[in-house]
Every structure is written in structure tokens, then in C-alpha cells.
Structure 1
């Protein structure tokens, strides 16, 4: 569904030092620098995959998505999405994709959401019967029935985001690009969007490429992740493999029935002690052995073995890069 080979996107940007003198000089002699937003990125995504696209601010995620949707022309390399070259912006291509950007508003600010949906129906040439079926399904999945008659300007961020998703999916695209879809939403709003995206992809076999700074989005939706930093792809593979490769330790939380002497933890990396709960960092290979020893030697009420936060692992990937 998506094939990217040696994609590069470079921008020629005006550079000027601060101060009045520099401002005057720039009027007659402008200096420019080349920013390599994306530099030699390659990957392939199969139909029906949900893939997380991770990276820090300025890593090149949004630039890549814009090249995949035809909003930007690549400086070099080739991009194919559903057999089309996105930069040509062919109607047959545009009818099969959708781009949702959490920091951008695509609905008409002064219209009720229902009217904005009708505009999209007209733009995409959707017949009345399939349009009504798609709208009913999206209204039910996103729980937006009470929002349809309200002006977009009076909706909360979470309400508007759900309406944005509905508008983007009325034509039932085969490929869905999501750029920070839960940006600024509260916990309930994030959960609602994640559930919807998972259900939509499952029902329609859609291919989804998702960027997010919330690791909860990625862990809830994607098994495969692409990690980009400095415009270069640093990792492409299974999320579990990423955790395994960059996190040699696990977190073990021990809940005690009664306190124990401090020397009971000799030779173990203790991260914190909070009353009866002791948090340990243990090498992966030793986790099972240590847990069994603790259960035998100490008054243990419960033992929980956890993976470290994905955010920490991603930071390590960037640090190694």
C-alpha cells in the first residue's frame, strides 16, 4: 500500500543574525541554509497494517506524511501510495486516502458539523445511500450525535477532533494518515480516539500510519513502529523487538506484608521504596530467578514484573542515534 525509497525533502531557508545591521544587510544580500528535513528514508507498509511513526519534534514525521499525501513534492527519491505517485494529486488517489492533523482544523468554523459533512459528501461525490450508511456508522462509533447541529467553533477540542475524524472517513479511505490525532485531548478523549481508530481499521481493513508523542496511542494501536530522528530512519520493526533491543532491564514491583531489613535487597538495584512497595530494576535474564528467590525468602504479598516506560526506551533510541 505504501512504498518509500530513499525519500528526501530539503528546504532552502533564509538565515539572518539578530540586530538592525543584519536586517539591513539581508535586504541586499540574503543568506540561505539548506535544511534536510527528510534525508534518505525508505520503508514499505502492507495493506491493513497499523504502523506507529515516532520521533522528536523536528525529526521529519510531518514532512514525510505531507510527501505521502502529495502536499509536498520530494526533493529526491520515490513514493508510491496505492500504486499512485502522491505529488500528482490524481482524483483516483485522493478518493482513497485521508489525512487528519491534530493541530489543524479542516472543518468550516461557522457551520454545524452536519453541514461540513455535507460539503465533504459533495466534494467526494458520495451517493446518498452509502453516505448515510457511512455517517450513521461514524456517528455511532464516535458518539457525536449531539454535536451534529452545533457550530464547529463552539465545540471543545475533544469534540472537534471526533468530528474531524468523521469528516475524514466519510468516503471510507483505504489509507489513513494520522498526525498527532490526540494532541491536547484529555485521557477520556485520547481513549475514545484510540478505540475508534482500532475499530475502524479492523472493520474496513484500512492501512494506518500514525504519528504521536503519546506513547499510549502507539502501544494501543501499533505492533510495528518506525523511529525517525534528524530526518533519518533509525528503527523499523516490531515494538516488542524495540523494547528488547534497547531495554536490558525490567521493573519488578514487590509488595510486602511486613517491612524487611534494608540488607535484604543487597546486590539488587532498588529504584524506590514507598511504604510496603519496593521497586527494583533487574536484568532481563535474571527476572524470573530473582522473583522466585524473593517469594521464598521474604514476606511477599504480590510481585509485578513490568516493562520500562516506552517513552524512556524511545529516548534511548534517540540517544544512541
Structure 2
């Protein structure tokens, strides 16, 4: 697959004024929001782009869309320079900012979509086909005649995603697309994005604080902190980088002392006949289960995967 997004040594510096020592004195400082990051994204890939507040995620997205001009480095999206060729690029990308809507506040969804069609000059047949597909998959059928201001956050978010896809973009940038949504709305949006990627081959770059979005949608994840790229690779490799652990929950026939002598695992908690054993996330649970079954009166067990959020927190802490 050819690369749709190419980023090389990309940086963005802001000049800010801060209060100085005197009552009327201001000190000018430079803040490097993005500090020399490099990566590529092939056509059809879904990538998670995660990090804490202020890490540089949104600044990167704004440079990828042409809203901000880079301070240094090289950037290409679909072969175009976003800052210099923004008018051409806008026809190739879709953008959804979770806390900002691109819809017209006082107009019904149907009228907002009609304006989008005219702005992008979408052929009528193509527009109707895309709208019908999004309306069906995102359950918007009863909302098309409702003004945007009367929609719930989850309904508006689904409406924004539809608006971003009416012109068949090559790449979709999603900034916190499930923020504030209930469980049902989140599941509907995730299912739609999986289908969109599988059937249409749309490239998706997803930034979110909801790590379940990443786990369910992305095989590749990039972690950014203080403007620098800390990790870029498979989601499974993130566990290894953060030295994460899986947990085996063991139910014995009766209460016993903590389980010992199991190679590759250690007991971290006991509560009556139930015990919790931790082992590296990269290791297999099968030999550990076999050792416990041979030496202890085993009744039941379950396996808990590591919490990605804890893994990233340990990476941020320098562990």
C-alpha cells in the first residue's frame, strides 16, 4: 500500500506572552507543541493517535488539515501540502472534532447536508447513496428534519460523522468522536467506522481519551507526549513497551495460602478461595494454568487483559 500521509520531522512552535516579575511586564516564550515527529500512514489503515492533554495531538491534526502551518519539517497528505494546497486537499479529507460541530445550528440535518452537497459539488446520485448508507448505519432516519440545536450530543456526533463522509474522503480525521456518548451510541459509532474502513477502504486517524475506541478499532497506535512520538507500532507491542501484565483470576475449592511455585507468575492478591496472579502480557496463560491445575484444587478461572490506560501512564512516568 502506498502512503497516504507522510510526516517527516514535523514541528510547530507557538509564541506566547506570560506575566513577568513586574506588575505590567510580559515575557515572550516559545512553546514547542509538536517537536520533530515522523510517521507515515498507508491507504486504508486505521491508526490510533493518543496522548495526554497538551501532548500535541490536536495541533498535529490541524497541521494535517491545513488549519495550521508547520514551523518546520515536511508534510504531505494525498500528495498535497496541506497549508499551501488547502482548497484542493479539503475534497480529499473529512474532519470531525468531537467538541465542535460543522453543522448549521438552526437548520435541520437534511438542510445542513444539502449545503454540504453544494459546497463540495457532490453529484446527486452519489450524494443520495452516501446519505442513505450513513443514515441507515448510524440510525439517523428519524432525525433528518430535527434542527441541530435540538439534537443530543450523541445524535449530533453521528450527524457530524455523516457530514464528513458525504463527499467520499480518502482520509477521515476523528478528534474525540465518542466524547460524552452513552454506551449504545459509542457501540454504533465504532461499528460504523469498522464497516467504513473494511468496505470503503477509508483511512482513519483517530485521537481519543477513550482507550476502548483504540482497542476495538486500531491495530496500530502512536503515542505522543510533550510534542514527541514515544511509541509507534502494534497495539500488542504497546503492552511490552509499558511492561504491562495480564491477570489470571483463580477460584479454588477452598481458602488456601497464596499460590507459590508457579513459573512465570506471582500472586498479587487473595480473597477467600479466590486468588489473583499476574504475569507478563506477552506470555501465554496456558502453561501457568496447567501448573496451577496440577498442584491446586482448581474450580474456575478467568483471564483479564491489561488496562491500556495504565500502560500509557507508566510510559509517561518513565518506567
Q: Shorter chain as normaliser: what TM range? A: over 0.9
- 241-250 vs 91-100, which deviates more? 241-250
Q: 2:17 maps to which residue?
A: 14
In the alignment, structure 1 residue 217 sits paired with structure 2 residue 213: yes
Q: 2:187 maps to which residue?
A: 191
Instruction: Identify, as 1 or 2, the structure richer in helix.
Output: 1
Checking the alignment, whether the CA contact within 8 Å between 1:7 and 1:78 is kept in structure 2 is yes
Checking the alignment, whether the CA contact within 8 Å between 2:258 and 2:267 is kept in structure 1 is no
1:52 match: secondary structure: strand
1:320 match: secondary structure: coil
Q: 2:6 maps to which residue?
A: 3
TM-score if structure 2 supplies the norm length? 0.92
2:317 match: secondary structure: helix
Q: 1:262 maps to which residue?
A: 257
Q: Deviations over 1:99-157 (max 9, x none)?
A: 10101111111111111111101100011111111100110110100111111111111
Q: Equivalences for 1:105-116 in 2 at 5 Å?
A: 105-116=101-112
Q: Equivalences for 1:73-222 in 2 at 5 Å?
A: 73-222=69-218
Q: Assess, with a 3 A threshold, how the Cα gap between structure 1 residues 285 and 65 changes in structure 2: closer, same or farther.
A: closer
In the alignment, structure 1 residue 278 sits paired with structure 2 residue 275: yes
Partners in 1 of 2:82 and 2:92 — Cα distance? 11
Tell me how far 1:272 sits from its aligned partner: 3.5
Partners in 2 of 1:282 and 1:90 — Cα distance? 50
Checking the alignment, whether the CA contact within 8 Å between 2:17 and 2:29 is kept in structure 1 is yes
Q: 1:297 maps to which residue?
A: 295
1:123 match: secondary structure: helix
Checking the alignment, whether the CA contact within 8 Å between 2:244 and 2:306 is kept in structure 1 is no
Tell me how far 1:245 sits from its aligned partner: 3.0
Q: CA RMSD in A?
A: 1.9
Partners in 1 of 2:270 and 2:149 — Cα distance? 48
Residue in structure 2 matching 1:228, options 204, 224, 239: 224
The runs of 5 or more residues in structure 2 that have no matched partner are none
Partners in 1 of 2:268 and 2:148 — Cα distance? 48
Q: Assess, with a 3 A threshold, how the Cα gap between structure 1 residues 207 and 286 changes in structure 2: closer, same or farther.
A: closer
Partners in 1 of 2:189 and 2:28 — Cα distance? 41
Q: Assess, with a 3 A threshold, how the Cα gap between structure 1 residues 152 and 273 changes in structure 2: closer, same or farther.
A: farther
Tell me how far 1:201 sits from its aligned partner: 1.2
TM-score if structure 1 supplies the norm length? 0.92
1:278 match: secondary structure: strand
Q: 1:246 maps to which residue?
A: 242
Checking the alignment, whether the CA contact within 8 Å between 1:227 and 1:236 is kept in structure 2 is yes
Partners in 2 of 1:213 and 1:8 — Cα distance? 23
Partners in 1 of 2:194 and 2:53 — Cα distance? 25
Checking the alignment, whether the CA contact within 8 Å between 1:194 and 1:217 is kept in structure 2 is yes
